[in-house]
Structure 1
Amino acid sequence: MSTTAGAPPRFTPRTWGTLFVLCGAIFLEGIDVAMLNVALPAIRADLGLSTGELQWVVSAYVLGYGGFMLAGGRAADLFGRRRMFLVWLAVFLVVSAVGGLAGEGWLLIVARFVAGVAAAVMTPAGLSIITTGFEEGPQRNRALLVYSGTAAGGFSLGLVLGGLLSAVNWRLVLFVPAALALVILLLGAALIPATPQERTRDRRVDVLGAVTVTAAIVLLVLGVERSAHSAAGWTTATIAAGLVLAALFVLVERRSAAPLIRLGLLRSGALVRANLAGLLFAAAFFGFQFIAVLYLQELRGWSALETSLAMLAIGADAVLAPTLTPRLVERFGNAKVIVAGLVLAVVSYALFLPISTDTVYLAMFPTMIVLGVAFALAYGPLTIVATDGVAEHEQGLAGGLLYTAFQFGAALGLAACTAVLTGASGGVDGYRSALVVPIAAAAVAAVISASGLRKRVAR
């Protein structure tokens, strides 16, 4: 890679190839989640699943993904980013195919859990390949913005593809990701280079730390995700157990000679703010999508494909993230661009408040397009800040922290919106009430990010 003064960073054919493979993997993860969500009604009809069993098709993936992300990110640092990326991409390929062949609900649920674990390793591994393989500064920023735009584009396109494929056969929403994973695996084996540091690094494993933090996150995500569907006592006990294990994890890390997470990493105010803002941003984003899908399909009677097309404008960030955002970051800095994106997110959700039983799509479009711009401005720069200045041997861990925050935030936002909708009187007023959740979450995220701007001015 090379740059000239005032010119955008240039990538060599090899680095473009590596970035293409990694973008393919994050695109794969995005379409996989989105397509399966759209196909849930068809899965229920074919396999005869109850509502509770159908919920576990989603929950199993969330638990595997969110619960093992930190351990997966550290595994990439310890055992080689390229190796972990390719091995767990192969696992993802196999279990996706198994899920597509499943004739029983339990087998599909198990396959989705393992797919979540696989994604929990290969996602931070892929991110850390970028943050260690591209020079810090404009080169890395552009690579990360292209990467994050591809991730969002995958999710948006997955909504449409899911509607099309599930109309033919829901099993295609699992077979298509498996086929795409095979292509990415072959290209990755040829294009992603291994680094000497990956072969010589100390590989001591903090087993107790990995077990306690994974169990803590699994219990916390499970408690939050199931809070709207379970008794209050069960939810409280699950979350309490998760908090106890989290406290135990901190004690273990303080005494470990080779900790899973160096607690000093959390002394970075910018990193902590980026992770908190990312958690709340994901809570707002996924909470809003949940509300919008239910409003369009259950209240308005739109089909899955019509709903997917209605939300396609959010995918504008796939174009804006690698084109507009780098210029804004270069001129104003990551912090200001993040705050602008979060403020636009608040505006986009507020624009949806006037919905009624006969609102035309033209009135909903401003929400979708503004949210797409907001995502383009916030998501990529948050990724940059959350990994900026972190030592190379901890880049996988930094990526794991960020994606854990995103995943836990998504579970939190979905649970909160479900709780509001469940307790509401019904009708369009219930959806308006639930919109308070994404508006509040995005507003708090904006305040947290803006606090970093105030501290910088004070210094």
Structure 2
Amino acid sequence: MALLVIAGAQLMVVLDITIVNIALPQIQRALDFSTTDLSWVVNAYTLAFGGLLLLGGRTGDILGRRRMFMVGVALFVLASLLGGLAQNSAQLLAARAFQGVGGAIASPTALALISTTFREGPERNRAFGVFAAVSAGGGAIGLLAGGMLVEWLDWRWVLFVNVPIGLLILLAAPRWIRESERRTGHFDVTGALTSTLGMVLLVYGFIRAAQESWGDPVTVASFAGAAVILTVFVLVERRSRQPITPLHMFTDRNRAGTYGMMLCLAAAIFGMFFFLTLFVQNVLGFGPLQAGLAFLPVSAVIAVGAGLTSQLLPRFGPKPFMIVGALLAAAGLGWLTLADADSTYAGSILGPMLVLSMGMGMQFVSLTLMALSNVRSDETGAASGLLNATQQVGGSLGLSILVTVFGTASADEAERLAPAFLSQATDAQRLLFQRTGELPEPWASQVLTAGAGAAFVAAAIAAALGALVALLVIQVRPSDLERLQGGAGPGHG
């Protein structure tokens, strides 16, 4: 029962990313988001989640893991309810950020509770296995559940669904989970807030540049503010007794390269899901449930790639899989650039997704191993938490860059198509175009396709950059594998 409660909370936090992705086109229409602003529905959650993840884990150590687990779940449930009731874009974005805060507390404390609830050995290993399976499968469940909820009910139910699940978890946790011993420690609140605020300003700068221009005063001020605050963050972390981000983690060449690769991978993957979700629904005409089913092969092939990599790692070591996985991801994203407004799912989307997914599965296993290599047992949590935080922050930053590329390319395409549209438009259509600046169908599909194609090019470059990092930075031989696994500390299995 304790494992069911812990895994249920992790499932709720993980599936919330993909379950909302499927609903993005409906959210855009209901709350009048532009495509560039729509990215904040994803970024508001991932920035708060990634930026506060390490602090959330620390609160459980110091204040009690069960207590903070319940606080995180309660915040998540309340934010989900508020998000489902949102009447405008600002209310929804605030609720999504609030959800990220709850997730940042609930997720790391859920993982830590396994260590305090289950005996070391086979029992704990099985519990970790269930937790990992839920984390990996949550994305696929979110795609299906999101499609069904939006298709049969309404987009608001992708948020409302968390409420009954969370309430059951809150009722069961006091009965089935015992409280952990508290540790003495220090909360690095300044470090957590400066890192999160700096990344928010950086992401906002890219999205503002897509909407206005690179020379816009607000854009320039955002980038300048991000530079100043992130510099303050580094200075704070160097002087803190118990920093939220242990900077010495980056002194190891392999680990620093691993974090760099995770940034590149997350940047490419978050952008791919965002634009491909819009493409299959707005251009190919898929319904929400059909879109959810269309993405299921991604989860299946990731599992296959991860399984093969786990079996072959002892023979070849992690570096070849890091390089080949990144190149496969780049190839899949490059292949997606060939899709146009007349494409079909089977002809232009499925093949690239399968290639990309195989590369993702290969990278996830090898990157996790390298991130935990040569880490003291008391720092295993910090190393794995930093990898997860890097994934969330890298995804947000990458998505904001791809949105900037999308905005520029789609604006150029709209300008190119405008004369043809105006030559045959009615007076009412001309007035609507002058007021909104948006072209109707079928021109809108061509604009979205051109913008998404440019974003896929940028995502492919990010994945290729990850392969370059693996080739030039990572230095590990197959013979080092036993030593690496030995240094991972308890809980690695």
TM-score w.r.t. length of structure 1: 0.81
- In the alignment, which of 295, 316, 326 is matched to residue 279 of structure 2? 295
Tell me if 1:351 matches 2:335. yes
Superposed, 1:93-242 pairs within 5 Å as 93-103=77-87, 105-128=89-112, 147=131, 150-167=134-151, 168-185=153-170, 189=174, 195-196=180-181, 199=182, 201-232=183-214, 233-242=217-226
CA contact (8 A) 2:405 2:454 kept: yes
Q: Which residue of 1 aligns with 2:387?
A: 402
Give how far 1:289 is off.
Answer: 1.9
CA contact (8 A) 2:59 2:68 kept: yes
Classify 1:124/1:41 alpha carbon distance in 2 versus 1 (closer, same or farther; 3 Å): same
Q: Which secondary structure does the structure 2 equivalent of 1:86 belong to? A: helix
Give how far 1:443 is off.
Answer: 1.2
Unaligned runs of 5+ in 1: 1-13
Classify 1:253/1:356 alpha carbon distance in 2 versus 1 (closer, same or farther; 3 Å): closer
Distance 1:291 1:203 in 2: 43
Read off the aligned partner of 2:205 and give its amino acid letter: G
CA contact (8 A) 1:216 1:243 kept: yes
Distance 1:141 1:380 in 2: 17
Distance 2:254 2:170 in 1: 34
Distance 2:268 2:362 in 1: 15
Distance 2:195 2:330 in 1: 32
- In the alignment, which of 265, 284, 290 is matched to residue 268 of structure 2? 284
Q: Which residue of 1 aligns with 2:427?
A: none
Q: Which deviates more from structure 2 when the two are superposed, residues 48-57 or residues 238-247? A: 48-57
Tell me if 1:378 matches 2:363. yes
Tell me if 1:86 matches 2:107. no
- In the alignment, which of 472, 480, 493 is matched to residue 451 of structure 1? 472
Classify 1:81/1:334 alpha carbon distance in 2 versus 1 (closer, same or farther; 3 Å): farther
Q: Which residue of 2 aligns with 1:33?
A: 17
1:238-293: per-residue Cα shift (whole Å, max 9, x none)?
12212212222222233333433333232222322221111110111112223323
Distance 1:137 1:266 in 2: 31
CA contact (8 A) 1:145 1:321 kept: no
Q: Which deviates more from structure 2 when the two are superposed, residues 170-179 or residues 43-52? A: 43-52
Give how far 1:346 is off.
Answer: 1.9
Distance 1:449 1:116 in 2: 31
- In the alignment, which of 418, 434, 454 is matched to residue 403 of structure 2? 418
Give how far 1:312 is off.
Answer: 1.9
Classify 1:375/1:135 alpha carbon distance in 2 versus 1 (closer, same or farther; 3 Å): farther
Give how far 1:115 is off.
Answer: 0.6
Classify 1:64/1:332 alpha carbon distance in 2 versus 1 (closer, same or farther; 3 Å): same
Classify 1:297/1:453 alpha carbon distance in 2 versus 1 (closer, same or farther; 3 Å): same
Which of 1 and 2 has greater Rg? Answer: 2
Distance 2:377 2:64 in 1: 12
1:64-84: per-residue Cα shift (whole Å, max 9, x none)?
223323432443444444443
1:286-312: per-residue Cα shift (whole Å, max 9, x none)?
122233233333333333333332222
CA contact (8 A) 1:74 1:397 kept: no
Q: Which deviates more from structure 2 when the two are superposed, residues 265-274 or residues 220-229? A: 220-229
CA contact (8 A) 1:228 1:419 kept: yes
1:385-404: per-residue Cα shift (whole Å, max 9, x none)?
32344344444433442222
Tell me if 1:309 matches 2:293. yes
CA contact (8 A) 1:226 1:415 kept: no
Q: Which secondary structure does the structure 1 equivalent of 2:93 belong to? A: helix
Q: Which secondary structure does the structure 1 equivalent of 2:340 belong to? A: coil
CA contact (8 A) 1:145 1:380 kept: no
Give how far 1:117 is off.
Answer: 1.0
Distance 2:100 2:207 in 1: 15
Classify 1:162/1:58 alpha carbon distance in 2 versus 1 (closer, same or farther; 3 Å): same
CA contact (8 A) 2:207 2:404 kept: no
Q: Which deviates more from structure 2 when the two are superposed, residues 162-171 or residues 332-341? A: 332-341
Q: Which deviates more from structure 2 when the two are superposed, residues 135-144 or residues 90-99? A: 135-144
Classify 1:56/1:273 alpha carbon distance in 2 versus 1 (closer, same or farther; 3 Å): closer
Distance 1:68 1:335 in 2: 30
Unaligned runs of 5+ in 2: 414-445, 481-493
Q: Which deviates more from structure 2 when the two are superposed, residues 246-255 or residues 447-456? A: 447-456
Classify 1:41/1:312 alpha carbon distance in 2 versus 1 (closer, same or farther; 3 Å): same
Read off the aligned partner of 1:172 and give its amino acid letter: W
CA contact (8 A) 1:342 1:443 kept: yes
Give how far 1:383 is off.
Answer: 2.9
Classify 1:289/1:253 alpha carbon distance in 2 versus 1 (closer, same or farther; 3 Å): closer
Distance 1:360 1:50 in 2: 25
Q: Which deviates more from structure 2 when the two are superposed, residues 124-133 or residues 270-279? A: 124-133
1:359-413: per-residue Cα shift (whole Å, max 9, x none)?
3322232222233322222224423432344344444433442222212221232
Give how far 1:143 is off.
Answer: 7.3
Distance 2:275 2:337 in 1: 11
Distance 2:362 2:126 in 1: 13
Give how far 1:342 is off.
Answer: 2.0
Please tell me the root mean square deviation across aligned C-alpha atoms, in Å.
Answer: 3.6
1:213-260: per-residue Cα shift (whole Å, max 9, x none)?
333233234334544235433233212212212222222233333433
Distance 1:263 1:315 in 2: 33
Distance 2:370 2:119 in 1: 15
Read off the aligned partner of 2:396 and give its amino acid letter: A
Q: Which secondary structure does the structure 2 equivalent of 1:311 belong to? A: helix
Determine what percentage of the aligned residue pairs are the same residue.
Answer: 37
Superposed, 1:427-442 pairs within 5 Å as 427=446, 428-442=449-463
Read off the aligned partner of 1:64 and give its amino acid letter: A
Read off the aligned partner of 1:361 and give its amino acid letter: Y
1:130-183: per-residue Cα shift (whole Å, max 9, x none)?
689899999999977765553343223323322221231222111212223334
Classify 1:184/1:351 alpha carbon distance in 2 versus 1 (closer, same or farther; 3 Å): farther
Distance 2:283 2:320 in 1: 38
Read off the aligned partner of 1:358 and give its amino acid letter: D
Give how far 1:33 is off.
Answer: 2.1
CA contact (8 A) 1:341 1:377 kept: yes
CA contact (8 A) 2:21 2:277 kept: no
Classify 1:132/1:278 alpha carbon distance in 2 versus 1 (closer, same or farther; 3 Å): farther
